[in-house]
Amino acid sequence: MTGSRAPALDSRLLLLPALLVFAAFAAALLDLLSWSFHATGRIGAAPSGELGLSVYARVLSDPLYLSALATTLRLSAVATAGSLLLGLPIAFWIVRTPSARMRATLIILVAVPFMTSLIVRLYALLLALGNNGLVNRALQATGVIAENDFIPLIRNETSVAIGLVYFVLPFVVFTLAGSFKRFDRTLEEAAANLGADELVVLFRVTLPLMAPGILAAGTLAFVLAGTAFATPLVLGGSAVRMVANVIYDQALFAQNLPVAAALSAVALAFTIACLWLAGRLGRWGSNA
């Protein structure tokens, strides 16, 4: 609403609270990151030690941290692939089903786990994958393994991977469904009219058009999985450390705030890099 003088002042006032909150938070974040330039320090005390990038050098060369980074990247990739594989068919179903009731039901079915506290879901997975859990019991009952035997499905990368997929899946489904619904079905009808069968239409018309949505969902999955904390904690125990776990340990147990801060910076850079890369890929795709 353009026009006369008064609104200009009003609108800026409206933004003030949000800007203040944002500014405070930005200050806190910058403060945290500044710790990464000091050699030593812990929470509650002032930073000490010489200034410089020594912490980063340490973080990026020490095998402890490097393995955590490698694990993180590895598991995020697996989780992204898994969640896309499982999420695409559901998202497709949600968007394509003609019945509004069915669509609402499907969304509710995905939403209930989504709105359930993560800890609850992780505990549930623990029960399912545990040594005496559902899966092992089922395998014992069907004779695949011996009565007292079990397949170790928790406290290893497998369970963390499954857990990450579980965690990320609803996000992926909703992102995919949200981007698919804007679809123009007449393109598919045109292809069919020109003689393409369903599979060809799927691979040559539908999937390419869905590519931006898939890219967005995949990026989201990768970032969420990469910065996951609770999932590796509960399902991986001490065997699987991802970057978020190391940050926590270094800050609160090892009293090593600079390292925690440096890793936080790395995590932040990782997130920004993923989004930037996704943006570039998206543009490259649409120019191709």
Q: Which stretch binds another protein (CB under 8 A): 60-68, 152-160, 183-191, 196-204?
A: 196-204
CA Rg, the chain, in Å?
Answer: 24
Stretch of 53-61, 80-88, 204-212, 277-285 lying at the interface with another protein (CB under 8 A): 80-88
Tell me which of 56, 65, 90, 238 binds another protein, using CB under 8 A: 90
What's the burial of 168, exposed, middle or buried (CB within 10 Å: 0-12/13-18/19+)? buried
The type of residue at 102 is M
By beta-carbon proximity to another protein, the closer residue of 85 and 190 is 85
Tell me the site size for another protein, rule CB under 8 A: 96
Convert residues 41-60 into a mask of x (bound to another protein by CB under 8 A) and - (unbound).
--xx----------------
**Is 218 near another protein (CB under 8 A)?**
no
For residue 195, what are the contacts with CB-CB under 8 A and spacing of at least 6?
A: none
Q: Check binding of 80 to another protein (CB under 8 A).
A: no
Q: Which of 161, 165, 217, 235 binds another protein (CB under 8 A)?
A: 165
Select 4 or 286, whichever has its Cβ closest to another protein. 4
Please report, for residues 22, 79, 125, 239, 251, the alpha-carbon distance to residue 169 in angstroms, rounded to integers and kept in the order given: 30, 9, 14, 24, 30
Binding test (CB under 8 A) with another protein, winner from 39, 73, 211, 275: 275
Residue 11 CA to residue 23 CA, distance in Å, equals 18
Nearer to another protein, 74 or 288 (CB): 74
- If binding is defined by CB under 8 A, does position 103 make contact with another protein? yes
Q: Which of 55, 78, 128, 154 binds another protein (CB under 8 A)?
A: 128
- Indicate the residue among 1 and 146 with the shorter CB distance to another protein: 1
Per rule CB under 8 A, is residue 197 in the interface with another protein?
A: yes
Q: 261-284: buried (b, 16+ CB within 10 Å) or exposed (e) per residue?
A: bbbbbbbeebbeebeeebeeeeee
Structure tokens at 49: 């030690």
Q: Which residues have a Cβ under 8 Å from the Cβ of 117 and sit 6 or more positions away?
A: none
Question: What's at 85, amino acid-wise?
Answer: L
Token look-up 């989004």 returns 275
Q: Which of 154, 240, 247, 278 binds another protein (CB under 8 A)?
A: 247
69 interacts with another protein by CB under 8 A? no
Nearest alpha carbon to residue 236 among 164, 169, 162, 159: 159
Question: Does 22 interact with another protein (rule: CB under 8 A)?
Answer: yes
* Chosen residue from 144, 272, 280, 283 binding another protein by CB under 8 A: 272
1 vs 288, beta carbon nearer another protein: 1
